[in-house]
Copies of this chain bind each other. A is one copy, B any other.
């Protein structure tokens, strides 16, 4: 068995493998501030690409960006009873507006605030308060707002990208005149999310509605996109919430309808976070490090000159320069990033660095290649070297990237599908999570006692009631109750 670039491997220790892939690709690191991460340039570039795609999709569906305060007065949070319960347990509380030296010369908090503020864990209440002032008539609706922001939820056990006390996200907040429109918006944005997650990030998403215990605090319905990681645990990729009139009533968002009647608005909210970067790492990468789908990758190809004798250098470098220009000039749906690694390092060392950083295509150019007008190419997923005529390679390069994109999507989908199993009995489900794991599909009566037992015994939760099976009904595996929906159970992050 050849040595892998990442130690340990996925099989040896998946959680530690993940940390090492993130580290080897230089995506992010823990900071000295408990639970907060530093997103390093190579990781932040992925977020910029995801942002660009999402932002364009939001604008194409009529949304505009705005910015609301970082701080939320405690009295706002309290206006929605479930909401405050959900977020009061883990929030950063600002209590003072100054630091002052004490007698020992230590800086201590001074000038206490009249009312404590919390750093936003989400912005339904602070944005809802603005909506209550902005909306007067049905003519002001729908109001379709998005915010790009940082949020803080004081997490005890954190993991880079997947769960951190501070993270970056977008949060959409919309208000509508009717329940129907708000429900449509909730599902429209879920579909916008699904499209980017599946088409660009190449992650198959299991889409469905959350059960009551997993709903966003204050929501009437929460829809989720669930991904399957390579340890067969689920990761929630994003959520879209139909809030009914709960927040409209809490924050007094009213409008006069076409008949002159005053009504509460219907609102939605939806969010995607920097967690998506972690999801890409966990779904696509291998024991040699990061693998990225070309549509969001930072580096599409790296040119690695192999110079054995100094006399060859100028020819090889000239060849690489020309090749870089030609590749860069190919028409593509996204800007191509082609690197020429001129650093004074061993070829093998440069190759491994590019592999660990998820470069889509590695191109080696030595004296033989220059002489024969070929390149020795390996794509990141297989790493198999083939030598091909350079002209053919250049003209098929963009196709090659698209094929890599499709291979990654197909591979991830096959893995997900293999990890998903229909359960006939509760014993079968027990067995599945004792010997193996994945997405277990089972009819389910939504009995909270059963839910608690399964959580306790098998450490599994209901991830969602999947859309694809929403018309199916059957006998609950646990209670025997008839006419129950199909639910997906899994261990999860």
Contacts and interface: CB of A to CB of B under 8 A. Distances in A.
A84 interface: yes
Contacts of A99: 74, 77, 84, 88-89, 91, 93, 116, 118
A111 to B, nearest CB: 8
Given A33-B117, A107-B74, A117-B33, A38 B65 contact: no
Interface of A: 29, 31-33, 36-41, 44-45, 47-48, 64-74, 76-78, 84, 88-100, 107-109, 116-119, 126, 129-130, 145, 149-150, 152, 154, 166, 168
Contacts of A88: 98-100, 107
B33 A98 contact: no
Contacts of A36: 69-71
Q: Count this chain's copies in the assembly.
A: 2
A154 B129 CA distance: 22
A208 to B, nearest CB: 32
A131 to B, nearest CB: 11
Given A91-B97, A93-B95, A93-B98, A41 B65 contact: yes
A90 B110 CA distance: 10
B94 A119 contact: yes
A66 B78 contact: no
Given A36-B71, A97-B154, 16 more contacts: A33-B73, A41-B64, A41-B65, A44-B64, A44-B67, A45-B65, A48-B65, A70-B119, A71-B92, A88-B98, A89-B98, A91-B99, A93-B95, A95-B95, A98-B154, A150-B150
Contact of A70 (B41, B96, B150): B150
A166 B71 contact: yes
Nearest to A130: B38
A77 B59 CA distance: 40
Contacts of A95: 93-96, 109
A64 B91 contact: no
A74 B102 CA distance: 14
Nearest to A72: B33
Contacts of A72: 33
Contacts of A41: 64-66, 145
A74 B90 CA distance: 21
B126 A116 contact: no
Nearest to A98: B89
Which of A45, A77, A94, A149 has most B Cβ within 10 Å? A94
Contacts of A166: 69-71
A465 B468 CA distance: 69
Contacts of A108: 116
Nearest to A40: B66
A145 B36 CA distance: 19
Contacts of A100: 88
Contacts of A66: 38-41, 44
Contacts of A168: 67
Contacts of A77: 99, 107
A369 to B, nearest CB: 28
B38 A73 contact: no
Contacts of A98: 88-91, 93, 154
A93 B89 contact: no
A150 to B, nearest CB: 6
Which of A41, A84, A95, A99 has most B Cβ within 10 Å? A99
B65 A129 contact: no
A297 to B, nearest CB: 16
A84 B107 contact: yes
15 contacts: A32-B73, A33-B69, A33-B71, A38-B68, A38-B130, A47-B67, A48-B65, A70-B119, A71-B166, A88-B99, A88-B100, A89-B98, A91-B98, A92-B97, A95-B96
